[in-house]
Amino acid sequence: MNNIIKYSVFLALFISFWACEKDKTYPGAVIYPYLPMYDLRSIYHGKDVPLSKETMFGCDKITGVVVSDHTGGNMPAGLLIMQDYRRLNLLRGIAIELGNDAATFVPGDSLIVNLAGKVMTKKEGILRITGVTTGDITKVSSNNTIPAVRANSSQILANPDAYESVLSVLVKGGFNPLPAPTDKFGGKDWVLNDGFGNITVSTTAGATFADSLLPVMANYRGIVFNKEGSDGKSVPIFRLRTGKDYDILSSVIELQPILITGFCSDPRIASDGNYEYVQMMATRDIDFAVTPYSLVWNNNAGASNPTGAPNKGWATGVDRTYKININSGTAAKGTFFYVGGKFKLINGDLSTDISSVNWVKNYDYVTKAGEGFGVAKNGWLANSGNAFGIAVFEGVTVTADTKPVDVIWVNGGGSLYSAGPPPLGYKIANTDWYDVVNPLEPSIQQPYFRMGTNNTFLAYNTGDLGFFYILGGEYNVGLGRWTKARTQTNVLMTKTSQLSEIQNDSLSTKLFIQ
């Protein structure tokens, strides 16, 4: 008890001393004058806010970097747009009404803006500061780097206020519906799909790039603005600033003829041999005797030979990669087909017979070498540990330089890529998950898995339980692209599981045919 009393007295004396020091203009008592934009936006609750130290938590200024550019003629007139990262490392922006003077500031200008006596309000759906003049603004520096911040349409649509007045990058965007060869940007709102959802891209008739033709696929940099919907909620609108705000990735449609839509890599049985299989979907009618393909899977366990980065990519062979030719049978557009081991059972020995589905190839990989490379093996697809991959190739010849038409990976560990020289690795395709060029830096090539941004992969399931990986997404044949990226759904099968569990209408990939 005596110790408690002593500590209490000491605490009281300390607080008293600290308070006295604070009254003597101790520097630690001075509130930092710059309010982060995250906090600035948070004080608006549906009605005008007079700005002062009282309403701005003791602050009276903001500081940030200009992202608006009025030279392209596509910004809302008279608005200066700034952004900062000052709160929780969260990027937020704000619009400032400045009239014609807004155009005198350019991207990369670092500014301090005095907000005392100004008003925060919302007009035409955009949160903004009014009453600011150039006399309230101090330019600190110019030509500051503005980082490319990748966002996707689903994130923006889910939280439009968080992205308002923020310079964002939409990656692999394509217009929906597909534009005609003569369609141009100007004077119209277009619907852009980036594989996550649809967002409106707006270009005024007076924009300097209004007469530019719409690309098939591109990366787009722009600022998100909101308008008020009929239900009173914010509706995001994406505006490019100038004609330099998009990088063309493709001017032609690159259709994926085959999509990997699921697989069973670990049936409920002690030995996986000849029970592993892959489910795929055709995006066009295919006669495999006329237009053959091949399936290659790999295993990158530490003991697999040859060790190290794959010296011949998907064609490395031995017990790293194994090829099965798909050179017979047919698949109709929009239908599932299967390639796998000798047995046509859903979940290993003594499980449901699914021989009625379209098996275009069953191959005894336990006793036979691969068709071109790979050794016979009692189970090729790993159940845990380092990564394994599945890839589909056009034709039956696969070399280190052959690019697949689709590819999927489980886990990301092991010796998968070496920068070299020469570089060694597994080639990827342009899909919903992978990009042969860096989507944020289109001048940088990244043709291999685990190179650059190609780091997306599925997660392993618990071994020996009989999971089927459903890869559900939406692929639009007319657009030649994924409009909803594939996601992983793990279906725990039993010995009596039925085909409907792995060809699930609500979970499986859907093909939109135009």
Instruction: Show me where the domains of the chain are located.
Output: 37-141, 150-250, 253-514
Vertex 32: Cα angle to 31 and 35 (nearest 5): 115
**Two tokens at 276?**
């592993």
CA-based nearest residue to 169, from 222, 129, 211: 222
Higher pLDDT, 336 or 231: 336
pLDDT digits (tens, 9 = 90+) for 473-506: 999 998 888 999 999 999 999 999 999 999 999 9
Chain-centre distance for alpha carbon 252: 22
Over the chain, what is the mean pLDDT? Answer: 91
pLDDT digits (tens, 9 = 90+) for 407-446: 999 999 999 999 999 999 999 999 999 999 887 787 899 9
Tell me the CATH class for 253-514: mainly beta
pLDDT at 13: 35
Cross-strand partners of 264: 277
Evaluate whether 325 touches 396 at the Cβ level (below 8 Å). yes
- Produce one character per residue of 75-91: b if its CB has 16 or more CB atoms within 10 Å, e if not: bbebbbbbbbbbbeeeb
Handedness of CA 301, 304, 306, 310 (dihedral sign): negative
Neighbour count for residue 224 (Cβ, 10 Å): 23
Q: φ, ψ for residue 403 (rounded to 5)?
A: -95, 130
| The pLDDT of residue 5 is above 50 | no
- Sign of the torsion formed by the C-alpha atoms of 394, 399, 403 and 406: positive
| pTM exceeds 0.75, yes or no | yes
Do strands 246-250 and 234-239 pair parallel, antiparallel, or not at all (unpaired)? unpaired
Q: Which CATH number fits domain 37-141: 2.90.10, 2.40.50, 2.60.40, 3.10.350?
A: 2.40.50
Residue in the structure block whose two tokens are 């289109």: 442
Most distant pair of Cα atoms in the chain: their distance: 94
How many residues are given for the chain?
514
CATH class of 150-250: mainly beta
Hey, CA dihedral for 433, 437, 438, 440, is it positive or negative? negative
Site of tokens 């990262």: 85
Question: Worst-scoring range by mean pLDDT, 64-68, 502-506, 509-513?
Answer: 509-513
The C-alpha atoms of residue 173 and residue 242 are separated, in whole angstroms, by 17
Provide the 10 A C-beta neighbour count for residue 154: 16
Structure tokens at 189: 């709102």
Q: Which two tokens stand for residue 419?
A: 């920068």
Distance CA 371, CA 365 (A): 10
Let me know if the fold of 150-250 is the same as that of 253-514: no
**pLDDT recorded at residue 23:** 40
What is the C-alpha separation between 485 and 488, in angstroms, rounded? 10
* pLDDT tens column, 39-54: 999 999 999 999 999 9
Distance (Å, rounded) from C-alpha 225 to C-alpha 236? 6
Please report the pLDDT score of residue 89 as a whole number.
77
**Please, what is the Cα angle at 364 between 360 and 369, to 5 degrees?**
110
